[in-house]
Amino acid sequence: MFMYKENTWVGMVTSMVYFIIQILFIYFLFAAGNIDYLAGFDRHEIYLVFAFSQLVVIFIFWFVSDNVRDMIKGIYQGRLDFFLLKPVDPRFLIMYQRFSGSFTISIVLYLLFLFPYLFYVHDFQLGIIAWMQIIYILLVSLVIYTILFWLAGLANFYWPNFQGMLLFINNIGEVNRYPKSIYPYVMQFLLTFIYPIFLVENPIYNVLDDSFSWELGVQMGLMTVILVMIFLILWKDGLRRYGSAA
């Protein structure tokens, strides 16, 4: 994407505007409601989880979303032949054929400005164990969120040019910005055990209020294994259904 300067610069400006708007949105949410806490968390804690979640989202934008869309086009246009005939694992070739770097400015804004600011103005009281838990959550979040995007892409082997699931995954991630306890129980259940988006980044809130448990950690690990197994099964079965361009 860096080959096209206009796209790169516009993408960076857009990322910066998005960053500013999201920060202001959270600020005015607390100001307009005249509240100091949301489900027991103050504004800076909401900012911290939002910042971590955006790092995961940026990774998805860099390495996943464009490749998923390319694979979807390849499925219904019969353009996967090139990848399947190469003497390299086709999953690797298709999943990492290109990346979009126009979101680099977002990484700079979060790492150089938001994180230092938050840790300067607020004492989060995070010890070594808490940081290890956050790192574990972020790593699992990367895998779960990545697999969810690819499952939306693999659905096109069965329903060609099916974009609805990808759009859903793109837009539902915003619920992670806030503690899941503010949502109705039915929504919490569905978005944990059916579509596990509340296992992506949101458990950082459990670390902040010291309620993160080994049961939750195991649940996240098991869900990751299940999703990876589903991905591998659908990949193998989906290729059998693929209609070659030849």
Give me the pLDDT at residue 105, please.
Answer: 65
| pLDDT-above-90 percentage for the chain | 45
Contacts for 110-113: CB closer than 8 Å, 24+ residues apart: 110/19, 110/51, 110/54, 110/55
Confidence (pLDDT) at 198: 94
| pLDDT given for residue 231 in this prediction | 94
pLDDT interval class at 212 (50, 70, 90): very high
Average pLDDT estimate for 205-217: 94
Q: What is the mean pLDDT of the chain?
A: 86
Q: Return d(Cα 152, Cα 91) in angstroms, integer.
A: 15
Q: Is the predicted pLDDT of residue 246 greater than 60, yes or no?
A: no
Whether residue 112 contacts residue 19, with contact meaning beta carbons closer than 8 Å, is answered with no
| Integer Rg of the chain from CA | 20
Beta bridge partners of 173: none
What does the pLDDT read at residue 157?
87
Quick: pLDDT tens for 58-106: 888 888 988 898 888 888 877 787 777 766 777 777 887 777 766 666 6
